[in-house]
Amino acid sequence: MTDPTFEFSRAITRRPARTIANGLRAEDIGTPDLSQMLADHAHYVATLKETGAEVIELPPLDQYPDAVFVEDTALCLPQGAIMMRPGAPTRLGEVDEMEPTIRDLYDDVRRIRGTGHIEGGDILVTGREILVGRSNRTDAVGVAELTDIVADWGHTLREVFTPPGVLHFKTDCSLLDGETILSTKRLDASGCFEGYRVLHVAEGEEAAANSIRFNQLVLCPSGFPRTTEMLSKHGYDVVEINNSECAKLDGGMSCLSLRF
Ligand code: CIR
């Protein structure tokens, strides 16, 4: 039997657009270099494929510089998919661009239709529940609507909180298997992972928390040697991907794909 929390047969990605320099960022730490980002993105896609999964590669969208961060547009569950409603106004249109692809793949597609907002980066699906971090992008109304939708499919949703100043809940954590979470100490300190096995990223390597378990591999941003060594010691097969350019736009490993 497959474990839907980390065993995936498909992923969706979208190539970075030439307008990428206009992407949102909390702080300006430099302009992302498109050719480097394209090379990193190609490595990311190749790594997903190396696990045996099919990767649906969508074309760039020049009118939506942040559209490469496809994770924020949908939540893909075994029973169906839900189109999100991003809290960033410039990203709302990305959902309509993604919907036809999702409809081709799922029979049951729902949509956050109310006044609330929710972005996929704030959602962590574990083996026992769906954790959603309220953030500057995800509000109580959006969480309430998602709670009702996933309840129809037998899922329990628990609302938690993304630390202040952190873009998304999953900026600070990722799932290594149904019961094991890789987290920053600051997020774990909130108590949201009680009952789970939690591995902490090394002090000063907080950006390594946005990694993904994808089939047999853990994709980590490169440059965080103490965290990758710790993961290897725990038996995880780690692949490092350069993330320097996406990091300038507050993006990381999870944002770059929808996995199901
Ligand atoms: C944004 O601010 O929306 C993008 N520049 C980065 C989105 C990253 N997405 C994610 O963590 N799921």
Q: Is residue 134 part of a domain?
A: yes
Q: What is the pLDDT of residue 10?
A: 98
Across the chain, mean pLDDT equals 97
Q: Which atom of ligand 1 is nearest to the CA of 72?
A: 12
Domain count, the chain: 1
Q: Is residue 26 part of a domain?
A: no
Q: Is residue 99 part of a domain?
A: yes
Q: What is the pLDDT of residue 2?
A: 84
Q: How far is the CA of 1 from the centre of ligand 1 (A)?
A: 33
Residue 24, number of CB atoms within 10 A of its CB: 14
Dump the DSSP string for 130-167.
EEEEE-SS--HHHHHHHHHHHHHTT--EEEEEPPTT-S
d(CA 139, CA 124): 16
Give the CATH number of the domain where residue 254 resides: 3.75.10.10
Q: Is residue 118 part of a domain?
A: yes
Q: Is residue 153 part of a domain?
A: yes
Dump the DSSP string for 31-63.
PPPHHHHHHHHHHHHHHHHHTT-EEEEEPP-TT
- Which percentage of the chain shows pLDDT scores above 90? 99
Cβ proximity of 128 and 178 under 8 Å: yes
- Chain centre distance of CA 91: 15
Q: Please, which pLDDT band fits residue 260 given cuts at 50, 70 and 90? A: very high
Helix (H, G, I), strand (E, B) or coil at 74: strand
Structural domain boundaries, residue 123: 4-18+31-259
Tokens 């959006």 belong to which residue?
A: 142
Give catalytic residues, as residue numbers: 168, 255
Q: Is residue 78 part of a domain?
A: yes
CB of 171 sitting under 6 A from ligand 1: yes
Name 220's Cβ contacts closer than 8 Å, sequence gap at least 6. 208, 211, 227, 228, 231, 238, 239, 240, 241, 253
Nearest Cα residue to atom 9 of ligand 1: 255
Q: What predicted TM-score, i.e. pTM, was given to this entire model?
A: 0.97
Q: Is residue 114 part of a domain?
A: yes
Q: Is residue 161 part of a domain?
A: yes
Q: Give the model confidence (pLDDT) of 121-140 as tens digits.
A: 999 999 999 999 999 999 99
Q: What is the pLDDT of residue 233?
A: 98
Q: How far is the CA of 49 from the centre of ligand 1 (A)?
A: 23
